[in-house]
Amino acid sequence: QHDVGALGKAESGLRAGLGQLFALAENYPELKANDSFQHLQQRISGLENGIADRRELYNEAVNLNNVRIEQFPDVILARLFAFQAAELLVFSDAEKADVDLKSLFS
């Protein structure tokens, strides 16, 4: 079974690292103006949105699974094949919040 908690921690770590990268870029105007760096920022933003969409889709599927394995007639097959309730991918508000760039340099 997959470790959903570890996935959440990895995503949080990735977001913090990216926040630090973009905070450092604030000190280098020539880097911020660089087309490649701007393209990188746009790609990362798109990836973050895609990850959020997939997280929402995953949680919808988990909710559907968890409800169906408790309802008749699905409960019969769920018990026969030992289907288990799945764990939601949950993040705290702090983990979902934008990185506070000022706090990185305090």
Is residue 95, in this structure, part of any structural domain at all? no
> Which region among 18-27, 62-71, 94-103 has the lowest average model confidence (pLDDT)?
94-103
Contact 97, 16 (CB under 8 A): no
Is residue 96, in this structure, part of any structural domain at all? no
The per-residue pLDDT for 106 is 46
Is residue 102, in this structure, part of any structural domain at all? no
Contact 101, 17 (CB under 8 A): no
Count of the separate structural domains present in the chain: 1
Is residue 68, in this structure, part of any structural domain at all? yes
Is residue 18, in this structure, part of any structural domain at all? yes
For residue 14, give its domain range. 4-86
Q: Is the pTM of this model over 0.85?
A: no
Is residue 99, in this structure, part of any structural domain at all? no
Per-residue pLDDT tens for 37-94? 888 888 888 888 888 898 899 999 999 999 999 999 999 999 999 999 988 887 766 6
